[in-house]
Chain A
Amino acid sequence: MADTAETFDEGSLIARAKAGDDTAFTELLTRYERKIYRLAKNITQNDEDAEDVMQEAFLKAYSHLDNFQGNSKFYTWIVRIAVNESLMKLRKRKSDKLVSLDEQVDTGEDLVPREIAVWEDNPEAQYSQEELRGILDKSVESLAPIFRSVFVLRDIEDLSTEETAEALGISIPAVKSRLLRARLQLREKLTRFFRRKGGNVLAFL
């Protein structure tokens, strides 16, 4: 099906939405709803919260469209709104320090790998789409929120380091340190599924 939304560039859609053309806003929504829903679900890890976040994010974006400056991308702007909503939900559910997003952990001791094994050449191919999604979702879910939120923004939603720092209200070194830990932890988890069967550590040599 041809998507008419794709035929408009984003700048003109935003200009039209700002000028009061509601169909233009609905097109923007259609463009980003999947990603915003995925983001909300990945950060909150709760279906009900993710639905609320998604709804609130788009309603707020609609109501505050006048505040949107053309100098950032619309996607980055709505991501920031959705991240804020998601973090509020997390804080409501968990009163502990898990959500203190600026605590610094940097001893380096936690970086030491436990699993060192080469992967199959095309590890995804061994699983159905649904199985693979399940493995990836479960692995992200098991990360602590401070690592998870950084990984979600950087490596799933593809924001830059700077955009991630801004959206989460943390420093750039904190983004980098958490991203490294998140990536290494996920690597360990995925290795259990993707390791080359019957191979040994040096099989690649």
Chain B
Amino acid sequence: MDIKVDHVVDAKGLACPMPIVRTRKAMNDLNAGQVLELQATDKGSVADIQAWAKSTGHQFLGTQQENDVYRHYVRKSEPDEVKEEITFPHSVRNEELEGLLESSREFHILDVREPAEYAFGRVRGSRNIPLGELPQRIGELNPEDEMYIICRTGNRSNMAANLLTEKGFKNIINVVPGMSEWTGIVERDEFELKNKIKPIGGK
């Protein structure tokens, strides 16, 4: 399945260290927070991209494989890891949200991370609208709903929560710290195989 990304690096057929070198160059053109997809056939790239992300401080999201092609997803980190202060007054800890998931209460979870982050692990039943698209897609949400906003560390969800409240949403709660420390059940995309036959006229 295709995950929406900001930049694709095609390193198929290239040997080590080319996939990493190409990724490094492409990263220069990305803004912090954007997601890069590296396509490679080099088997070593599976371990290398994770090691590379670790040493450069970028966020490795995951790898999917289709036949002989690996697709690795990496999100560019902030230059100085300067964290914005979490200013939104209503928040719950991860554990409280986990508890709510066990209850019969009706509420919504909005995940404001990038689609690739969401694809590789999310809270069951959550819905994804990346922070950057939220202003345009706010009409898809109901201002009366009780809504828990989640991201990776509580920063983007903080911004989203402030934005939604400014727009008249009445019952917004920020989840801290978010998916980076989520210990509850994680749901992820089941990646389709490339050769799966699609119905005629189907999407």
A and B associate in one complex: no
B residues with CB within 8 A of A: none
